[in-house]
C-alpha cells in the first residue's frame, strides 16, 4: 500500500513546478525601465532555478515577455534586455528537471483573457492542480503547457469578478498547496502567498519603488531595503494608488518549508530574521552535540555541507579541512544519462585531496541524502584517496516522504531512507557509520521568529491534509 501510495504521489509530482525564483518591481516613475533590475534580481536568485529564465514588462500599454532555456546570462543579452522597457516588471527562474524541460513551460506565463493581459511568475506546487485542470478541461479550457500556473490563469479568466485584480484574489481561494506568486497586469504588480506560507516571499523598497523577491539576496544586489515578508494568506496590490494589503484567507498554522533552511535558500539570505548560513552552522553544531564521536578531520561535501561542517568543527574541536575540491566550472559530459555518466559528473565536479585525507579518520558532512547514489560515489572516491574511516554525518533528518509542495522530485524520487534503515543506508553507500540530525534537534536550532515548519518529508505530516493519522490513512484521503 505504501508503494502504491508512493507511486501515485510521484505521478502527481511529475508535473510539479518545483523550486523556482521569482522577482517583481514597480515604479511610479513611468519612464523607468525595470527590466534591468529584474535581470539583476534573477541573477541573485539563479540558485533557485537554472532551466529557464524570463522577464515580463509593461510596454506601450501591452505586456511583453522575453524568455528562454538556460541561465539568466544565456537567455538575455544586451539587445534583448534593452528591448524590454517598462515601469512594472516581473521575472522568473526555473529549476531543471528531466522531461519537462520545454520552452513552453518557461515563465513568466503571459495570457490574455476577458479580464485583460496577465503575467504570472509562480514558485510552488498545487496539490489540487490536476483536479483543477480536469475541472477546467471539463468546462472546455485548453492547455498549452504542463504548468500549474496555467491553471491559475484560467481561474482568473473564469472568475465572476470583472476586475482582474479581484478575479486574481478570488482565484487564490481555489488553490490548495504551496504557492508564492508574483503577477502583473498593465497597471499593477500583485503578490500572494499561500495560507500556510510554504515558500518564501519578501517585500522591499528601493527609493520610492517597491520590490518583491523569493529571497532577500535579490534585494542586496540592487541595493533595495528589506521591509517585511509577505504574510501567509496575504495579497499585495501595488499600483499608482500605492500599496494595498489584504487577507484572502483565514489563518492556518504556519508551515514554512524546512528545506529552504537546509538546502535551497542562499546562505546570505535572511528568513524570519534568521540568516541561512548561521542556521546551517548551528545545525552542524547540534549534530556534533548529538553524535560525539572521534575523528581526525571534519570534511564537508562542497558546497552543500560547508556551513554545517564549520559548525561541527567549532563545536567538536575536531580540525576542519576543505578535503574535497569543487571545480567551479561546469563541465559537460556529452554522454547519455546512464549510470556511467553520473560517475563522470561527480569526477568532473569533485576531487578528494589525498595529501590531506590519506590515512585519516574523517567526519564527512552533507546537508541531506536523497537517493544515496551521489554519496556512494563520493565515498568511493574518498576511499581511493586513502581515507581510513568515513563517518558520514547529515545535518538534517532522513527524507522518507515525497514532497507535494514543490521540492525537486527527480532528485527526491527514489528516497533511500524510505526503503532502508540507517545502517542499511550506511552499508549501501559504503560509509563506516552514518548519522542524521534529529527532527527535534533541527527544530530546536532554527530561530526564525514566529515560524512553524512543514516537516512532511521527514514525518509524513502533510499540512494541507486535514485528518491524516498514518501513512496508510493518508493514502486513502490523498488520492
Which string of b and e fits 438-459 if b means at least 16 CB within 10 Å?
ebebbeebbebeebbbbbbbbe
Handedness of CA 70, 76, 77, 79 (dihedral sign): positive
| Cβ nearer to its own copies, comparing 7 with 144 | 144
| Cβ nearer to its own copies, comparing 110 with 362 | 110
Shortest CB 161 distance to its own copies, Å: 12
CA dihedral 376, 378, 381, 386 (to 10 degrees): -100
| Cβ nearer to its own copies, comparing 287 with 321 | 321
62, 117 Cβ separation under 8 angstroms: yes
| Cβ nearer to its own copies, comparing 243 with 348 | 348
Rounded Cα–Cα distance for residues 241 and 28 (Å): 9
Shortest CB 170 distance to its own copies, Å: 13
Rounded Cα–Cα distance for residues 174 and 168 (Å): 11
Shortest CB 147 distance to its own copies, Å: 12
**Start-end of H helices in 325-392:** 339-349, 354-357, 373-384
Q: Is 338 exposed, middle or buried (0-12, 13-18, 19+ CB in 10 A)?
A: exposed
Among 231, 210, 230, smallest CA distance to 222 is for: 210
CA dihedral 229, 234, 237, 238 (to 10 degrees): -10
Residue 249 half-sphere exposure toward CB, CA atoms < 13 A:
23
Q: How far is CA 237 from CA 66, 110, 244, in A?
A: 24, 18, 5
Shortest CB 54 distance to its own copies, Å: 12
| Cβ nearer to its own copies, comparing 20 with 110 | 110
Shortest CB 163 distance to its own copies, Å: 15
As beta bridge partners, residue 113 has 116
Contact positions vs its own copies (CB under 8 A): 40, 43-44, 46-47, 71-73, 77-78, 81, 103, 110-114, 134, 137-144, 153-154, 156-158, 217, 220-221, 266-268, 270, 274-275, 277-278, 281, 303, 306-307, 310, 314, 319-322, 325, 327-332, 334, 347-348, 351-353, 355-356
Q: Active-site residue numbers?
A: 20
Shortest CB 142 distance to its own copies, Å: 4
98, 410 Cβ separation under 8 angstroms: yes
Rounded Cα–Cα distance for residues 147 and 100 (Å): 10
Pairing of strands 389-394, 20-26: unpaired
What one-character DSSP code corresponds to residue 322? Answer: -
| Cβ nearer to its own copies, comparing 167 with 457 | 167
Shortest CB 385 distance to its own copies, Å: 9
In sequence order, the 6+-apart residues with CB closer than 8 A to the CB of 203 are 191, 210, 211, 212, 226, 227, 228, 229, 230, 236
| Cβ nearer to its own copies, comparing 143 with 428 | 143
Among 265, 281, 283, 252, smallest CA distance to 443 is for: 283
Shortest CB 252 distance to its own copies, Å: 28
| Cβ nearer to its own copies, comparing 234 with 408 | 408
Rounded Cα–Cα distance for residues 455 and 467 (Å): 16
Amino acid at each position: 500500500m505504501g508503494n502504491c501510495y508512493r507511486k501515485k504521489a510521484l505521478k502527481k509530482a511529475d508535473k510539479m513546478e518545483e523550486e523556482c525564483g521569482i522577482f517583481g518591481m514597480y515604479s511610479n516613475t513611468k519612464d523607468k525601465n525595470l527590466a534591468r533590475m529584474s535581470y539583476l534580481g534573477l541573477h541573485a536568485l539563479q540558485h533557485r532555478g537554472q532551466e529557464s529564465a524570463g522577464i515580463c514588462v509593461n510596454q506601450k500599454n501591452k505586456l511583453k515577455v522575453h524568455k528562454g532555456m538556460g541561465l539568466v546570462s544565456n537567455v538575455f543579452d544586451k539587445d534583448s534586455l534593452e528591448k524590454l522597457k517598462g515601469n512594472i516588471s516581473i521575472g522568473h527562474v526555473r529549476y531543471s528537471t528531466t522531461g519537462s524541460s520545454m520552452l513552453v513551460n518557461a515563465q513568466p506565463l503571459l495570457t490574455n483573457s476577458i479580464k485583460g493581459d496577465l503575467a504570472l511568475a509562480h514558485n510552488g506546487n498545487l496539490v489540487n492542480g490536476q483536479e483543477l485542470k480536469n475541472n477546467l478541461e471539463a468546462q472546455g479550457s485548453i492547455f498549452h503547457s504542463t504548468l500549474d500556473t496555467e491553471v491559475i490563469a484560467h481561474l482568473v479568466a473564469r472568475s465572476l469578478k470583472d476586475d482582474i485584480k479581484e478575479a486574481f484574489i478570488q482565484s487564490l481561494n481555489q488553490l490548495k498547496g504551496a504557492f508564492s506568486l508574483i503577477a502583473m497586469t498593465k497597471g499593477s504588480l500583485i503578490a500572494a502567498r499561500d495560507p500556510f506560507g510554504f515558500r518564501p516571499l519578501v517585500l522591499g523598497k528601493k527609493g520610492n519603488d517597491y520590490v518583491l523577491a523569493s529571497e532577500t539576496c535579490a534585494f542586496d544586489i540592487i541595493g533595495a531595503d528589506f521591509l517585511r515578508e509577505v504574510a501567509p494568506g496575504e495579497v499585495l496590490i501595488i499600483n499608482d494608488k500605492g500599496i494595498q494589503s489584504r487577507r484572502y484567507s483565514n489563518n492556518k498554522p504556519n508551515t514554512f518549508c524546512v528545506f529552504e533552511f537546509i538546502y535551497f535558500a542562499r546562505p546570505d539570505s535572511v528568513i524570519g530574521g534568521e540568516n541561512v548560513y548561521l542556521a546551517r552552522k548551528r545545525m552542524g553544531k547540534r549534530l556534533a552535540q548529538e553524535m560525539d564521536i572521534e575523528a581526525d578531520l571534519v570534511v564537508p561535501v562542497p558546497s552543500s555541507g560547508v556551513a554545517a561542517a564549520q559548525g561541527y568543527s567549532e563545536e567538536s574541536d575536531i580540525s576542519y579541512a576543505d578535503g574535497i575540491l569543487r571545480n567551479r566550472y561546469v563541465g559537460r559530459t556529452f554522454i547519455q544519462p546512464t549510470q556511467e555518466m553520473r560517475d563522470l559528473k561527480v569526477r568532473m565536479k569533485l576531487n578528494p585531496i589525498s595529501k590531506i585525507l590519506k590515512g585519516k579518520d574523517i567526519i564527512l558532512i552533507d546537508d541531506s541524502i536523497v537517493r544515496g547514489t551521489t554519496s556512494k560515489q563520493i565515498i568511493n572516491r574518498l576511499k581511493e584517496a586513502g581515507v581510513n574511516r568515513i563517518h558520514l554525518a547529515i545535518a538534517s533528518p532522513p527524507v522518507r516522504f515525497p514532497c507535494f509542495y514543490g521540492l525537486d522530485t527527480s532528485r527526491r524520487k527514489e528516497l533511500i531512507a524510505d526503503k532502508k534503515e540507517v545502517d542499511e543506508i550506511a552499508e549501501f553507500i559504503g560509509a563506516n557509520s552514518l548519522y542524521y540530525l534529529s527532527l527535534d534537534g533541527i527544530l530546536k536550532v532554527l530561530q526564525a521568529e514566529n515560524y512553524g515548519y512543514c516537516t512532511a518529508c521527514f514525518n509524513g505530516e502533510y499540512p494541507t491534509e486535514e485528518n491524516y493519522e498514518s501513512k496508510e490513512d493518508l493514502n486513502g484521503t490523498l488520492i
